[in-house]
Amino acid sequence: MELRTKRLLIRPFLAEDEEIMLRLLTDSKIKETFMIPDFDCREQVLRLFLRYQDLSLSPDRIAGAIVLDDRLIGFFNDTGIKDGYIELGYVIDPAFHNQGYMTETLTALIAHLFEQGFREIGAGAFVENPASLRVMEKAGMIRQEKEDDIEYRGLVHHCVYYHICK
């Protein structure tokens, strides 16, 4: 999949994304709200990047790189697909927060996924991540009644979910 927005390119991961992706996967700020494991060594992080790269090329999965001016600034992936429903997770490099890049990406992904036949698209976020909640709302998603308490990194986080239907 390759999509262009006003400012961004959404595409599969390339080998040259490796170093930035490894930094994003180990970034302490990102790890506060995006569920990423702790790694014991560089090889473990590299294996996860290679998995994302494989997923971004798979016809059965949704994953990819968010690129600004030929530089990886974020990524996304499906966290579940079932019966016309897809749930997404996403990350933007903290250096690029509050500039509308994730809203632009999510809006483009929603349109693309509807074109691909999905009938409902969802995403979730911890309530202590209001920026992500705003991204979903700006992309046209509506808060669902579904909520969860999820233990992550020794803390219980309240997670809320949003969706949009075709």
Q: What's the pLDDT at 63?
A: 97
- Which CATH number describes the domain made up of 3-165? 3.40.630.30
Please give the Cα distance from 166 to 154 (Å, whole number): 37
At 9-65, the pLDDT tens digits run 999 999 999 999 999 999 999 999 999 999 999 999 999 999 999 999 999 999 999
Q: What's the pLDDT at 121?
A: 98
Q: Where are the domains of the chain?
A: 3-165
* Across 123-151, average pLDDT: 96
Long-range contact pairs involving 162-165 (C-beta distance under 8 Å, separation at least 24)? 162/122, 162/123, 162/124, 162/125, 162/133, 162/136, 162/137, 163/120, 163/121, 163/122, 163/123, 164/110, 164/120, 164/121, 164/122, 164/139, 164/140, 165/119, 165/120
Q: What's the pLDDT at 16?
A: 97
Q: What's the pLDDT at 41?
A: 95
**pTM for this entry:** 0.95
Q: What's the pLDDT at 33?
A: 92
